[in-house]
Amino acid sequence: MEVTRSKPDDDFRIKQLRAQQMLRGDLEGDDLQEYVEQRLLLTKFEDAQNWARRNAIWPLGFGLACCALEMITVIGSPRNDLARFGAEVIRFSPRQADMLILSGRVSIKMAPVIRRIYDQMLEPKWVISMGACASSAGMFNNYALVAGADKFLPVDVYVPGCPPRPEALMYGIIKLQDKITSDPNLGWRERYQSQGTEEYPNVRPEAEPSEQDA
Amino acid sequence: MPDATGLELVAQRVREAVADDAVVGTHHAYGRGSLEVAPARVHDVLTHLRDADEEPYGVLASLHGCDYLPSEPRLGIHYELLSMQSRERLNVKTRVTVEDPHVPTVTDLFPTANFHEREVYDFFGVVFDGHPDMRRILMPEDYEGHPQRRDFPMGGEPVLFTFNEHKLPRWYD
């Protein structure tokens, strides 16, 4: 069988040549203006910012219960490849993460810990409640659990399932991306007093002068 | 497992060594024998079974609580003993009332009983006298009540659906 190599189309060749000319400084006047107009994209700064945010979500490596296995499958495995959506960088420190996935049941004893982890994350931050347990206590609707993590956290996306399949969680992440792009209004978080809660470990409050110093 | 006859022999030896009223009864079912013991004598009986008996049971394999709600006394504590020499197991049970749930601890005999007794205290409210650290172990320390008792409410919340949302109280109201 004869191997044929397809030729690059003429448009591409022309663009390549014009880019060469521009880099050499050969383009001038109207040619230069046409070149720039073809290659500029105008947008609002907020849109560009949200576009960058939605494509660089860093999830926190944090598992609560059995849903964590599905979450690890999503954010850690090449089969599902969350790098397609820019969310493959798992950070195990809340100070470096953007997204908290509540993967499993939230017990009464764990709730203050989760809230503190959430408070330590830097803004902007998002929360996905994964599975029936984190959303509504699910099958463990008893004395030990908090029925719904949205009692102490502002949850952005709820993913149903017991546990949700990895595809479902990825769909939730894509929904979160859409939310970041199209509706980045975070005003409802005031109800949870979840703004300005970051803890800065190296900043110490200034010591008040005591009477002994005076 | 001691068979039914062997269980009676064990019970007789315990009665002779500890006290006549130490063993309240014996029970043998499904190949497993259990001694029912008066709660005040638990420590003496387990000391005898661990050290002095002909077939010593050196391991406390497990310790659980139980709630027999309709019958009195309600709360039960089960000690599951294991002998690694004779490969036999023996249950020792005792029953206490809800009003006076006090049992002597066996932490000095079996150190593993420490966490087990804390768990029984946590979930059933049985107080083990002489325990070095009688605190809750699993539930939050400010939790009220002992949730595995049968008269404890199930807890949780009704799930809101569209058909019952207007009837159920909502948490944000």
pLDDT of the residue at A201: 66
Nearest CB among B140, B154, B159 relative to A108 is that of B140
Global confidence as pTM: 0.77
Using an 8 Å Cβ cutoff, are B8 and B26 in contact? yes
Question: What is the average pLDDT across A23-45?
Answer: 85
A142 and B154 within 8 Å at the Cβ level: the answer is yes
Given the structure tokens 């008893």, which residue do they identify?
A142
Write out chain A residues lying below 8 Å of B154, CB-based: 142-143
Q: A109 vs chain B: nearest CA distance in angstroms?
A: 6
Reported ipTM exceeds the 0.95 cut:
no
Dump pLDDT digits (tens) for A163-214.
999 999 999 999 999 999 887 666 678 888 888 888 776 666 666 666 665 5
Calculate the alpha carbon distances from A8 to A15, A38, A39 in Å. Answer: 11, 20, 21
Write out chain B residues lying below 8 Å of A136, CB-based: 159
What type of residue is B103?
A: V
The pLDDT of residue B149 is above 80: yes
Token pair listed for A27: 């383009």
Which residues of A147-213 form beta strands (DSSP E)? 157-159
Dump pLDDT digits (tens) for A135-154.
988 888 888 888 888 889 89
- The secondary structure element, H or E, covering residue A172 is helix A166-182
pLDDT of the residue at A20: 87
Rounded-to-10 torsion of CA B34, B39, B41, B46 = 50
The pLDDT of residue A41 is above 80: yes
Q: Which of A142, A151, A152, A192 to mutate to test the interface with B (most CBs of B within 10 A)?
A: A142
Question: What is the average pLDDT across A91-118?
Answer: 92
B157 and A141 within 8 Å at the Cβ level: the answer is yes
